[in-house]
Amino acid sequence: MTQTVYSVRGVTKRFGRQVALDNVNIDIQEGSVLGLVGSNGAGKSTLMRCLAGALKPDQGELVLAGRQLHMNSMHEAWQAGIAFVSQELNLFPALSIAENLCLVPGRRGWRSAARMADEAGPVLERLGFRANLAAPLGSLSLADRQLVEIARALLQNPRVFILDEPTSALHASEVDRLHNILRELKWSGTAIVYISHFIEELLGVSDTVAVLRDGRRVTLPERPGPPPLPDVVTAMLGDKPTNLSPTKGGARETISTENPLRLTNLRGPIALSVDRMEARRGEVVGVAGLAGAGVEELFAVLFGRLPVVRGEISLPSGGRHKANSASAVANGIAYVPADRKRLGLALDQSIADNVSSVRGLGLGRDGFVISGRRQAERARQRCAATGVKMASVGQAVGSLSGGNQQKVVFAKWIEADPTLLLLDDPMRGVDIGAKSELYALIRQLAAEKRVVVIYSSDPADYIAVADRVLVFNGGKVADELSGNQLTEHRIVTSMNGSSGVSACV
């Protein structure tokens, strides 16, 4: 019988009025892997940050080896023997690999890089990582950097090892290697918490599975052996009515067969391989897939940020597709990016400046001399149409809430009157009220004879807006769901579909 080394007892965490974690109990066993599952916003990352000392729970306690912890920082967690490898790499690209391995939160003093290299050698070799440790970290691929971060954590001989989405950047063979290491680590007594969107992969390595939904722990049906995938998906999503599509009524008659977006025998530079895909005007087509399944690459290729290796793209505007974003914009393609702060908006500039940027600067449709008054007037109308709540269009965009910022992004693209909209996780960081307004806006944009292609990290969004969903896997369209088949359950199961899920990146 294994022993509980780290336990979470009745932990509750609120952010303002929102309850992120509601009386969560979890026991983490010595020498065992706990898989933690939940959809976006279920409270996974909040729980993890509590476990790793980055957040303080409002109620409840964390007990490590019988001793109650009162951690104020991640440093203290590292000192207590809790290692945390997060999605966002905490590494220094300019320093050498060996130096990065020395820099551990909470450790004082300095070990020489040469000594560190001696120690790190065997661990890195076990991870199947071969590189000159004196080389700068920045020269490594994202996958290799992730391995360095994992190696750095392992070098501390942690009692509890928390991994958040450790495989999203790894190749299938590297995932296998990582899993083998986790098994070895487990046999030597370490307690491991493993969080991943790749549910099938997670089930393969976990001894027990904990499911979070809306901040609460959900119990899985009792069964001998590890839980099967459908049970986990059901627990994650809950028993929601399956045909919930409030805004989609009456969309059919607006679908036009003229000038659709059509991909034929398309090959991207990495893994993308689409033999045939069509999206018609008036239609909202969802493209679902796990990280590395090819959706990001599809968007990048369509918007001209990655080259087409082979095949053909015919655009709704009828223009010739070229591999640069300037001609993509000129060809009537709009792209609402996932990284809103970096690519979507100039936060310090005014709402008016942002709304008129694509039209006035990208396309030059406002001529050389720009009338600030006319621009402000247009922005005011556009923002009223998209429902931006603001004091004035002269306000800096950065002062708006996430949902309103996203509406400004929509407004600026609508100003360019696009024929094809690529929506890359448009509901990220958007509150529920703004979400339903954005759903309606997306439906309306489609109804105005535009092609809308949407990716979302929350499958519920597809149910709300998409007419049909193409599920990507390994760079290919693996499944198409529409009508009654279009349920969150089907989408998630299908995304996790084939074995060897983590396709090459």
Partner 1 sequence: MRAKLIGIGSNRLLARVSDTSSPVARAMSLARFDEAGLLIGLIVLVLIIGIPHPEFFEFGSIKTLLRQCALVGIMAFGMVYLVSMTDIDLSVGGIYAVAVTASALMIKSGIDPWIAVLLSLFIGAALGAFNSIVTAALDVPLIIVSLGTLSVFFGLNLIISDASPIFGMPRDHLFFRIFGGEFLGLPASAWVMFAVGVALHFLFFHTRFGATVRAIGANRAAADFIGVKVDRVRLYATALTGMLCALSAAMTLAYFKAVDPSMGEQKELLVIAAVVIGGTSLAGGSGTILGAFLGVLIINVIDSGIVFFGVDPNYARFVTGCVILAAIALDRFVKRRRQLSDELQSHL
Provide the binding-site residues for partner 1, judged by CB under 8 A.
Answer: 324-330, 335, 337, 342-350, 352-353, 357-358, 360-364, 366-372, 376, 392-396, 399, 412
Instruction: Report in angstroms how near the CB of residue 390 gets to partner 1 at its nearest.
Output: 10
43/332 with CB nearer partner 1: 332
Selection from 198, 193, 183, 194 nearest residue 8 by Cα: 193
261 alpha-carbon distance from chain centroid: 25
Instruction: Report in angstroms how near the CB of residue 457 gets to partner 1 at its nearest.
Output: 20
Assess contact for 70 and 149: CB atoms under 8 A. Answer: no
Instruction: Report in angstroms how near the CB of residue 448 gets to partner 1 at its nearest.
Output: 21
135/361 with CB nearer partner 1: 361
Instruction: Report in angstroms how near the CB of residue 353 gets to partner 1 at its nearest.
Output: 7
35/426 with CB nearer partner 1: 426
Distances (CA, A) of 443 to 52, 212, 448, 451, 452: 41, 31, 9, 10, 9
48/383 with CB nearer partner 1: 383
C-alpha to C-alpha distance for 424 and 101, rounded to whole angstroms: 35
Q: How many residues does the chain have?
A: 505
Instruction: Report in angstroms how near the CB of residue 376 gets to partner 1 at its nearest.
Output: 8
Instruction: Report in angstroms how near the CB of residue 415 gets to partner 1 at its nearest.
Output: 11
**Dihedral of alpha carbons 169, 170, 175, 177, sign:** negative
260/344 with CB nearer partner 1: 344
C-alpha to C-alpha distance for 64 and 5, rounded to whole angstroms: 6
Assess contact for 266 and 172: CB atoms under 8 A. Answer: no
C-alpha to C-alpha distance for 121 and 118, rounded to whole angstroms: 5
200/415 with CB nearer partner 1: 415
345/430 with CB nearer partner 1: 345
How buried is 267 (Cβ within 10 angstroms: 0-12 exposed, 13-18 middle, 19+ buried)? Answer: middle
Instruction: Count CB-CB contacts under 10 A for residue 401.
Output: 15
Burial per residue of 312-338, b for 16 or more beta-carbon CB atoms within 10 angstroms, e otherwise: ebbbbbeeebeeeeeebbbbbbbbbbb
Instruction: Report in angstroms how near the CB of residue 78 gets to partner 1 at its nearest.
Output: 33
3-state class (DSSP) for residue 103:
coil
Instruction: Count CB-CB contacts under 10 A for residue 258.
Output: 10
139/399 with CB nearer partner 1: 399
Q: Does an H or E element contain 248, and which?
A: none
217/359 with CB nearer partner 1: 359
Q: Does an H or E element contain 258, and which?
A: strand 256-267
Instruction: Report in angstroms how near the CB of residue 348 gets to partner 1 at its nearest.
Output: 5
Instruction: Report in angstroms how near the CB of residue 370 gets to partner 1 at its nearest.
Output: 6
Distances (CA, A) of 348 to 188, 343, 394, 400, 428: 52, 13, 11, 11, 21
C-alpha to C-alpha distance for 247 and 440, rounded to whole angstroms: 6
- Strand (E) positions, 117-222? 160-164, 191-195, 208-213, 216-218
339/448 with CB nearer partner 1: 339
DSSP-assigned states of every residue in 169-198? T--HHHHHHHHHHHHHHHHTT-EEEEE-S-
Instruction: Report in angstroms how near the CB of residue 336 gets to partner 1 at its nearest.
Output: 11
334/486 with CB nearer partner 1: 334
